[in-house]
Amino acid sequence: MTDLPEYRREEPGAQPPALHPAYASTVKRAPQQPPIRLPHTLSELTGPQWDRSVLRPSDDDLTRQNKGAPLGERIIVTGRVIDEDGRPVPATLIEIWQANACGRYIHPRDQHDAPLDPNFRGEGRVMTDDEGRYRFVTIKPGAYPWRNHANAWRPAHIHLSLFGPAFVTRLVTQMYFPGDPLIPLDPILNGVPDPAARMRLVAAFDLETTKPEWALGYRFDIVLRGRAQTPPLG
């Protein structure tokens, strides 16, 4: 036990259901028994602690991590990380990973019939500033087939992992792109029960972030916990 105050528990329905039959793999992995409520411990309330020494110079620009430029549409993604009361969350580590412009990951299990890009690793890290702001440059990922059902394709998306100020505030989620016709068909996104919460996973085109003659900009703000939280999505 600890004398430190616990973080507010999530609202019912904040997490996508463990069992969502349209998302086929949840049928195999969903728990068969109700979850057990555990108290927060000292390690969950106080760690981890990060500083900028964990970052490499090109971690925030996935287009400069190799000898040449990757293929595809260059984009800028920016936003703020805030808590449930609207306060900025500074110095939080954000890890991202994604498919390349052809919709393929650098992973031995990804055998999708699409080319790998030798100049794109598909992973990066950034850390929020004092106002909770972050920014990274990358390539817009492509859609890819995933065999969940007949003719199943995942919309273009970027995975994000945020640690926040403590392990209990960690969030793993996905960012989608506006206007993607595959979004209404995606069982993973549609596993989030609340339509308004699903829309919080779709970035907004941002002309202010857009760099003339260089890259389109998107804004994706992230809320850790609370009624307006960004939904978790594995």
Tell me, yes or no, whether 2 lies in a domain: no
Q: Choose, from 74, 80, 104, 157, the residue flagged as catalytic.
A: 157
Q: Choose, from 104, 159, 198, 200, the residue flagged as catalytic.
A: 159
Q: Choose, from 105, 134, 176, 218, the residue flagged as catalytic.
A: 105
Tell me, yes or no, whether 11 lies in a domain: no
For the chain (length 234 residues), average pLDDT per consecutive 10?
63 76 89 84 77 87 94 98 91 95 93 94 95 97 95 97 81 96 96 92 98 98 86 87
Residue type at 186 in one-letter notation: D
pTM of the shown model? 0.91
Neighbours of 206 (CB within 10 A): 16
Tell me, yes or no, whether 214 lies in a domain: yes
Asked whether 132 and 91 are in contact (CB, 8 A), the reply is no
In total, how many domains does the chain have?
1
Tell me, yes or no, whether 41 lies in a domain: yes
Tell me, yes or no, whether 19 lies in a domain: no
Asked whether 221 and 215 are in contact (CB, 8 A), the reply is no
CATH at 220: 2.60.130.10
Q: Does 218 participate in catalysis according to the annotation? A: no
Note the pLDDT of residue 16.
Answer: 83
Note the pLDDT of residue 136.
Answer: 97
Tell me, yes or no, whether 17 lies in a domain: no
Asked whether 230 and 200 are in contact (CB, 8 A), the reply is yes
Q: Does 159 participate in catalysis according to the annotation? A: yes
Q: Choose, from 7, 23, 134, 144, the residue flagged as catalytic.
A: 144
What is the residue-wise DSSP string for 9-27?
Answer: PPPTTSSPPS--TTSTHHH
Note the pLDDT of residue 121.
Answer: 94
Domain assignment of residue 87, given as a range: 24-224
Q: Choose, from 80, 154, 200, 225, the residue flagged as catalytic.
A: 154
Residue type at 45 in one-letter notation: L
Note the pLDDT of residue 19.
Answer: 87
Q: Does 105 participate in catalysis according to the annotation? A: yes
Note the pLDDT of residue 169.
Answer: 76
Q: Does 149 participate in catalysis according to the annotation? A: no
Identify how many contiguous H helices and E strands the chain contains and give both numbers: 3, 11
Tell me, yes or no, whether 132 lies in a domain: yes
